[in-house]
Structure 1
């Protein structure tokens, strides 16, 4: 068995005819915080104003619960299937805030020069704040809309104002923001999220 007299074969480090030498290594973009703080505060404040139209729309769209007065002291008994509207009120509010969150996530992504986690956090907090304010305002406006002016007669049917009985529904808005924004980040696939306009 003969031994090889030459050096061991090593891969050639010589550049091929079509290779381009890398003179400057491109730096990975870093998260911009300081420059995005003021736009993030603006996003948070603007989104909190959306609580007013959201509350008004819910107070008019959510179905009231119809009950019958069964005693002279005002004891109420819900009509058949009317108690389901307690869930309907919650579902309508949840779908409205989820839709708001999806739209806010897309609009926040369109702020191209401000893309990143700072504006995303501001959008999530802004939708959460708008949802919480809309929950409080909407219940109040619904109560005033379905106010019973005089004492109902025995056997009469009255409509009770819509109500929201769970604070867990406030998670739907931020969920919509994070899902839509995350999908757009994944679809973009660039290190700087396309912040540079060039």
Structure 2
């Protein structure tokens, strides 16, 4: 009887010790660093935004032109059969290129180990958004110069019309993939401080 009472007392003291330590000494959670990450975040945002220029140039080289026929003396144009499908192709090509840029921005930003956190993640997403917008501005400009017509075309002439983007929503492809990649890398890391202290 005395032995069982001793075992019960020992078990209760072990349970008390197990539950009292976390209550007396709660684990220190890393805080979000904002001030130290502001300048690197501006650098990430501006550098990521500059990707919009090569994004627009690459789109202008890859996007298919739409072949059209001149049907009126004043320059009225009508697309040839099935050529109007390239309107979607142009949008899809830009979307895939923007997702590739977002993937690149998310991965490169994640490898800035000492700056991991929400501040730099938001800066990367903002830079990807600016890159997408800049790509939509520069891409058609590059394409227009590539498919420019020097003289007035004759009636019945078949021309290659420069590709164009008919939806502004495509600029969201890059920031969405940037956030998705960063979130997946964060979940895969599993550390409370995302490994910043190892940088």
Query: TM-score, length-normalised on structure 1?
Result: 0.88
Mapping 1:45-194, distance limit 5 Å: 45-194=46-195
- Partner of 1:66, secondary structure, is strand
1:13 deviation in Å? 1.7
SS in 2 for 1:173: helix
Alpha-carbon shift at residue 26 of structure 1 (Å): 3.5
DSSP 3-state at the match of 2:126: helix
Q: Is the 8 A contact 2:65 2:163 kept in 1?
A: yes
Tell me how far apart the structure 2 counterparts of residues 72 and 14 of structure 1 sit (CA, whole Å).
95
* Structure 1 consecutive aligned stretches of length 4 or more whose deviation exceeds 3 Å: 21-26
Partner of 2:18: none
SS at match of 1:35: coil
Partner of 2:14: 14
Q: What is the root-mean-square deviation of aligned Cα atoms in Å? A: 1.9
Unaligned runs of 5+ in 2: 16-20
Report the Cα distance in structure 1 between the residues aligned to 2:72 and 2:29, rounded to whole angstroms.
Answer: 73
Residues in 1 aligned to 2:123 and 2:150: alpha-carbon distance in whole angstroms: 43
1:73: Cα distance to partner? 2.3
Partner SS state of residue 28, structure 1: coil
How many residues of Structure 1 are paired with residues of Structure 2 in the alignment? 186
TM score, norm. by length of structure 2: 0.87
As a proportion of its length, which structure holds more helix? 2
User: 1:169, CA displacement in angstroms?
Assistant: 0.3
Secondary structure class of the residue paired with 1:12: helix
User: Does 1:27 find its partner at 2:28?
Assistant: yes
Distance across 1 between alignment mates of 2:68 and 2:198: 60
Gaps of 5+ in 1: 1-5, 16-20
Question: In structure 2, what is the Cα distance between the partners aligned to 1:134 and 1:181?
Answer: 22
Deviation at 1:59, TM superposition (A): 1.0
Aligned counterparts of 1:90 and 1:164: Cα–Cα separation in 2? 6
